[in-house]
Amino acid sequence: MKTKEELLKLIEETLDEVLPDAGERPAVLSDAMRWAVGAGGKRIRPLVCLASALAVGGREEDAKYPAAAIELLHNYTLVHDDLPAMDNDTVRRGKPSVWAKFGEANAILAGDALQALAFRTAARAPRNVAEIVAALGDKGLGVVDGQIEDLVREKAANGASVLPLDTVDYVYEHKTADLFIASAVMGGYAGGGDAKSIDVLRRFALNLGLAFQYEDDILDGDSPWSPEETERRVKTATSAAVQALAELPGDTTFLSTLANKLVGRKA
């Protein structure tokens, strides 16, 4: 089994390869893109992508470009989420957010560039390129759908009518889980997985993404459910994710370990 450190090394090397060089013209854009992607983070989604290739019996190297692509797309969403028109966050991962450091207009353009670069990078996969790019686009749209509904939820929390819990479920499934699904599906396609394996990975990643969001709610103290119900949801979703892995033909150790470690995490 590949270690987490080995997989992270492959991710960082690939991101460094596909991102523009620091100072490359226009320098403010290349520097802002590198600032966004290099500002830390756990790289959970690209790790899921690489490990999903292994889980269908493929090689992690075959999924390195899809893994980098999902991290680029993820960071584009964060850059835009931080903007004054959205969450108005001036800090991201302990550093100034992109708009706070480079200006609002440059942050918008850096996010646009990261999104475009994500698709160009995904297209470098060794096989099933159309399916990989389609999965990235489908779930990229899903994240935007979830963000729109989340803005409605935030408005409701500030004094409007209470948002129905089914809308909360919609936000979690799209704003959070969709990128986990894209990560797993893209990795499965890159690793040469068959249709059954792709469906299993999709089920695994949906539950993983939901468990991740429920655990975030516990950490942030803002769950729409009681602490007991939120804990139950974490455990149920994690169990469903791990159980799905038994149906895959390759090495699922990393995915199983990752799912279990997300439960009860401290950050």
pLDDT in tens, 4-24: 999 999 999 999 999 999 999
At residue 14, what is the residue type?
T
Q: Say yes or no to pLDDT of 166 above 90.
A: no
Which pLDDT score, from 0 to 100, does residue 223 have?
A: 87
CA–CA separation, 202 and 185 (whole Å) = 6
The count of domains in the chain is 1
108: pLDDT confidence band, cut at 50, 70 and 90?
Answer: very high
Q: Say yes or no to pLDDT of 160 above 50.
A: no
- Percent of the chain with pLDDT strictly greater than 90: 81
pLDDT in tens, 206-236: 999 999 999 998 988 888 888 999 999 999 9
State the CATH number of the domain containing residue 95.
1.10.600.10
Residue 185's domain spans which residues?
A: 4-262
79 domain-assigned: yes
Q: Say yes or no to pLDDT of 135 above 80.
A: yes
267 domain-assigned: no
